[in-house]
Copies of this chain bind each other. A is one copy, B any other.
Amino acid sequence: MKTYGERAINLPNKTAQDLFTLMERKKSNLAVALDVTTKQEFLDIADKVGPYICCLKTHVDILEDFDQDLIDKLKKLQKKHDFIIFEDRKFADIGNTVKHQYSKGIYKIAEWADIIDAHAIPGDGIILGLKEIGLPLKRGLLLLAEMSSKGNLATGAYTEATIEMAKRHKDFVIGFISGKKYNSCEELIVMTPGVSLDNSNDDLGQQYKTPRNVIENGSDIIIVGRGIYGKGKDPVVEAQRYRNAGWNAYLEKLEN
């Protein structure tokens, strides 16, 4: 098995290279899913977990007081702590629409997000639309090949079609949101949500797995949300705990 650093070398996409290099440098395969609804909380937690993460996963469209100042401050935190920004927009429309959603509107996601994700459901057009905007900016796209929620439909033939779609656009598609690695495209990044050391589900269908579970299945990056900054948690303590759990699982996998 190759290390993250070794895998960085031959990737065609600059953001993917940067991400793997950064992971090796920071010894972290932890992404934090920052699902809070105020700017203050957002910046506060990002600053606290920043030193321990490779990637900050955002949902800017749930912030009550989003503004350009938030983006400016987020970029400063990115410089200070050295992480990749992943706006988890889950684009899911036809090419002409997602092109606008990605580049325009209030959020202007293309200007600040290194990585975005999309559902494969609309067909290749969604990738073509996003690529028109993102490739000149050297951005990267993740496709949702599997989901962690109960009764989800990203399975079987759907997942296979998604993998084929990724293979047709390797300049821009840098990997998958998924629970496991796919043999036919081992070089692509696998990021896995729904990771927790403490919970097994929530009351809206989310199902959790441990860092070790998902790294053993071939995931490269664990995505942890409420497990790090939920009620009563200390984000610094929890980010260190998850960083260690994820990194140790990776080291063990390298040895086997």
Contacts and interface: CB of A to CB of B under 8 A. Distances in A.
A152 interface: yes
Given A62-B104, A106-B106, A125 B206 contact: yes
Interface stretch (A1-9, A46-54, A93-101, A244-252): A93-101
A125 B149 contact: yes
A101 B107 CA distance: 14
B123 A205 contact: yes
A119 interface: yes
A13 interface: no
A61 B59 CA distance: 14
A153 B61 contact: no
A31 interface: no
Contacts of A122: 147, 149, 152, 205
Question: Which of A120, A161, A205 has the most B CB atoms < 10 Å from its CB?
Answer: A205
A105 B150 contact: no
Chain A contact-residue range equals 35 or more
A151 interface: yes
A236 interface: no
Contact of A129 (B60, B97, B162, B204): B204
Question: Which of A37, A61, A119 has the most B CB atoms < 10 Å from its CB?
Answer: A61
A157 B66 CA distance: 39
Contacts of A106: 61, 63-64, 66, 106
Given A64-B106, A90-B92, A125-B205, 14 more contacts: A59-B100, A59-B101, A62-B97, A62-B100, A64-B104, A92-B119, A94-B204, A121-B121, A121-B144, A121-B153, A121-B154, A122-B149, A122-B152, A123-B205
Interface of A: 35, 37, 59-64, 66, 88, 90, 92-97, 99-101, 104-107, 119-126, 128-129, 144, 147-154, 156-158, 161-162, 202, 204-206
Top-3 shortest CB links A-B:
A125-B205, A95-B204, A123-B151
